[in-house]
Structure 1
């Protein structure tokens, strides 16, 4: 069981590694981001803190194999990682240097176009371990390393590692499928309880069992992920984009996730807004552009109609009325403001056209997420990726909250002065 320290700071990495070892981790990986941030000193710090542990340096060597293996070996690594897709000359130089300095070579198949035949070639070139690895960006797009690993273990006789978003359940599956090494990163290192998370994975590795997971559609998985994170998490995952402006929750403490049924209306015209209820399906969110802070296209009767159809919520770029009635109903409603005035059902406008709501473009079928922080639009074509990335943001924040609770300030943990733009 190898824990991957893909952080930027050595001191945090050492602490997280200690907690991981307490939970049962065997090998400690100095991750590529940490090496890029701190250089060979990152390996030295981990070696100094863990004299009796196998240290893996995830150098992802792409050239100058002998030089970089020597660097990592002298800094204290036991295993040095090269890219499996590099030229054979680099693999051979890395293997020769490894023998000279008494370390082992692990070849990482990340982004390899032909991972199974390449694993055979790498074994023939003399590497000691094969790592079947779905990178973080690939994971966000739904790529899975387990299926490839199952093929690789049948093709090589050297130990095979697997990495890429593993948790306790997938680690158990990997072991049962023949993996010798399971590599876990964020599901340990980003946990508020690192030792507890490591312990859970240790148990699954030591006594693996096959659990039947219910099949979920992509839509179900996206909704589940988006319900589990906050709109700030999603905004961070989207590089601070997607948030509607000047639209707020009318009922605090209510969360909303659904696919958009869009409505373009004119000031105070509530006909198309109400007709959209008949178009919308269970789980949809009605998103209305009305453009008036003084006349409402929506009220209590429309809200009750939505509840009958099991609609997930309503978003209005404009006013809403009947807040006293709506507050007694179990439906999230987001709007610019609330007023007493209603408009007239004139019937102008359109349903399920591309609109602008809260200064954000919304297309029919886009995912709409709302909570007490506001409303965010997730383009449907990137919904799975963004939902996965938002979950990673949430994990990172959980760990930061825990470190702040232990007494440090956020700027101390993040080393903000070090990372200020020069």
Structure 2
């Protein structure tokens, strides 16, 4: 199994703070996420600023698109996003529009469907039929704050998604010690936000993730 990529989630409130956070760990980061909070605070200009600052990194616009898929996707891609997210509650027509538009825009542009516990496997099957390439299994921020831990159910869901052929990203307060839980699964990306951004040494924190990946994936 290939080594997972490491993504930093930038949920800063300003572009300047986001760029500063990313620079501190850039040596070991593969993917930079313009988080939903940053997008809400600074708008599409945040995507362009991060792409300009880090042209060699994959940029994700975490817009959690629910409707008007092509409108949002064009906005995000025009400003430098490589991937964009849709929320799992979106209608399948929106998912299909996003898949089709992404392919037409560029072969390198891809949709990620961000999943919460409020999903059905019938929905997942419909995404697969529509050609959705990526899914994100997300332990919600508020659930983390309420003390919800990673469990066997998470592992089983992630494994099933990978077995269906999706490129799977795992996010939601991921710490280095959580990585081993997913060791038998071909994870595409692990996302770390606060565990890198808020670390005393963000570069070292990012390196620890990459070193942990090497223990379980080749």
Same fold (TM over 0.5): yes
Give the match for residue 201 of structure 2. 193
Residues 379-390 of structure 1: pairs in structure 2 closer than 5 A: none
Residues 21-420 of structure 1: pairs in structure 2 closer than 5 A: 21-22=26-27, 24-102=28-106, 103-114=109-120, 116-141=121-146, 142-144=148-150, 145-154=154-163, 156-208=164-216
Is this contact kept in 2: 1:133–1:162, CA < 8 A?
yes
Give the match for residue 11 of structure 1. 16
- Superposed displacement of residue 139, structure 1: 1.9
- Which consecutive residues of structure 1, in runs of 5 or more, have no partner in the other structure? 210-422
Is this contact kept in 1: 2:195–2:205, CA < 8 A?
yes
Distance 2:196 2:24 in 1: 9
Secondary structure, in 3 states, of the residue corresponding to 1:180?
strand
**Cα RMSD for the two superposed structures:** 1.7
Query: Which has the higher relative contact order, 1 or 2, with Cα contacts under 8 A spaced 6 or more apart?
Result: 2
- Which consecutive residues of structure 2, in runs of 5 or more, have no partner in the other structure? 1-5
Is this contact kept in 2: 1:95–1:126, CA < 8 A?
yes
Distance 1:200 1:108 in 2: 26
Q: Which has the larger radius of gyration?
A: 1
Is this contact kept in 2: 1:162–1:174, CA < 8 A?
no
Distance 1:46 1:87 in 2: 30
How many residue pairs were aligned?
A: 206
Distance 1:147 1:136 in 2: 20
TM-score by length of 2: 0.88
TM-score by length of 1: 0.47
Is this contact kept in 1: 2:169–2:190, CA < 8 A?
yes
Deviating beyond 4 angstroms after TM superposition, the runs of 4 or more aligned structure 1 residues are none
- Superposed displacement of residue 202, structure 1: 1.0
Is this contact kept in 2: 1:173–1:208, CA < 8 A?
no
Secondary structure, in 3 states, of the residue corresponding to 1:70?
helix
- Superposed displacement of residue 57, structure 1: 0.7
Is this contact kept in 2: 1:174–1:182, CA < 8 A?
no
Give the match for residue 230 of structure 1. none
Q: Higher helix fraction: Structure 1 or Structure 2?
A: 2
- Superposed displacement of residue 143, structure 1: 5.0
Distance 2:193 2:212 in 1: 16
